[in-house]
Structure 1
């Protein structure tokens, strides 16, 4: 059906249908119910699920209270994800950062950031980590880190010692797996940069690949794209050190930061 035909059947305006389809207007539960009826959706569980999503879409996420956070859409996906597999080539991932390390990353990577902006980003980053310590259903996290993330001195040697010790403690938890990809493995599927693969508990929700960029992030949902990044991640995990060997590797890196600044 055309948007005009749908509008005529539901006794609403054609522009409203166009705005709903293009994501420029929130779909109210009644809109979802009427559209499902018109399109012949018979599965009541699916209808109920879509209507619940509609109700929740009108609620602002906790991160909106911190002002203009550029990666807000990603935080929304992260908050709903059941598991995340991420590869990071340059720094320790935000979910695994200490406060001191995160503060140094924000100060060093965002030109002309004000103290207020830096403070808001730091608070958001640390609050995102609540998912890892949730008493019920914590986020399942796999993290493959390039050796460069351990060798790059962010903040100071003392900050690095604290950060790597924190990384070791997190990696010992049953729902968090940390692996290091040493420089010696040579070329690998992650050389093109950072990516995260988010998967959700509800089978109706598509997996999403997130590519962080400085000005505009990229979200991939096509099955072929997701499948490609799953294969890439499997190769990264296979070539990375085992979790046990990773702990020994991190311990050696901690020792390398011993002594005065």
Structure 2
């Protein structure tokens, strides 16, 4: 039996496309399974379409043959299947990410837009800054803290990867983030210099909303919008609080988050002025 797995964004896209193609072919899951042979069952087809079972490439090919798809669609979906099940970095941290929904989404995103009014975003945190933040909510011993820090370090690697291409990250932060001395002066100075360094990457943009800006679109808390290529998935908004995480997927609701992020960028300093402010605070 194909192994169970935590589906990636690409895995869910493949599953939904296989279901759509079966419906278009006018087949039920029972009829599809019957035509595919003894190794297939309604249960197997259904689990593949729900992204609960990882299909083999041969299995995907058999389904596409049955549904009579054109050559372009066939090639695209087989390529999607080949890339859908690559092992995520979080598999080495199953003790920390029992349900790696967000990090799996983040890993597949082509664009990440993040509004952060309280802390430097996790993808931009230095090791010591991350350690100090994690200590505030990690109730285990120092070894547990270090384990989470190592996971965060591993997570940050996606900003510099070559294949698949690194996502474009745009961060808007409140000036308070820069002035709050997490971990003390030395740790914070190092963090500010790290922001200046990472901002030089072509795929990373850091902007700051200064104190003199009054009411703005981000006063109700942090959020992230994850953007994906149309061939993979629709955009998703993510909001995390102490009460838990919320994934917003409806087009209208995600659009509201996108508009708020555009308003935040409009209220923020330019990239150049943001760099100057970060550098000035670092000198202080």
3-state SS, counterpart of residue 212 of structure 2: helix
How many angstroms does 1:179 deviate by? 0.7
Report the Cα distance in structure 2 between the residues aligned to 1:143 and 1:185, rounded to whole angstroms: 17
Partner of 2:167: 139
Aligned to 2:131: 103
Residue of 233, 247, 252 corresponding to 2:280: 252
Match among 110, 114, 124 for residue 151 of structure 2? 124
Residue in structure 1 matching 2:205, options 161, 164, 177: 177
Q: Are 1:33 and 2:61 counterparts?
A: yes
Tell me the equivalent position of 1:163. Answer: 191
TM-score scaled by length of structure 2: 0.77
Cα–Cα, structure 1 residues 193 and 33, in superposed 2: closer, same or farther, change >3 Å?
farther
Between 246-255 and 133-142, the greater mean CA deviation after superposition: 133-142
Q: What secondary structure is seen at the aligned counterpart in 2 of 1:185?
A: coil
Go from structure 1 to structure 2 and tell me whether the alpha carbon gap of 1:17 and 1:138 turns closer, same or farther (over 3 Å shift).
closer
Q: Is 1:193–2:221 an aligned residue pair? A: yes
Cα-Cα RMSD: 2.6
Moved more, 167-176 or 142-151: 167-176
8 Å CA contact 2:159–2:166 kept in 1: the answer is yes
Alignment partner of 1:24 is 2:52: yes
Task: Kindly provide the CA deviation profile for residues 153-203 of structure 1, in whole angstroms up to 9, marking residues without a partner as x.
Answer: 211122111111211222233332111112432332222322222234x44
Q: Is the 8 A contact 2:209 2:269 kept in 1?
A: yes
CA distance in 1: counterparts of 2:181 and 2:43, whole angstroms:
54
Residue by residue over 1:227-256, the C-alpha shift from the partner in whole angstroms, topping out at 9 and shown as x without a partner, is 222222111101111112212222333244
Change (3 A) 1:192 1:45: farther
| Structure 2 contact 116–173 (Cα < 8 Å) conserved | yes
Q: Which residue of 2 aligns with 1:6?
A: 32
| Preserved CA contact (<8 Å) 1:101 1:163 | yes
Query: What is the aligned partner in structure 2 of residue 63 from structure 1?
Result: 90
Q: Does 1:227 align with 2:251?
A: no
Unaligned 5+ segments in structure 1 are 257-261
In the aligned structure 2, how far is the partner of 1:26 from the partner of 1:134?
25
Q: Does 1:84 align with 2:103?
A: no
Residues 1:154 and 1:174: Cα distance change in structure 2 (over 3 Å): same
Report the number of matched residues. 253
2:245 matched to which residue of 1?
Answer: 217
TM-score (norm 1): 0.83
Cα 1:38–1:185 shift into 2, 3 Å: farther
Give the structure 2 partner of residue 259 of structure 1. Answer: none
Residues 1:244 and 1:119: Cα distance change in structure 2 (over 3 Å): same
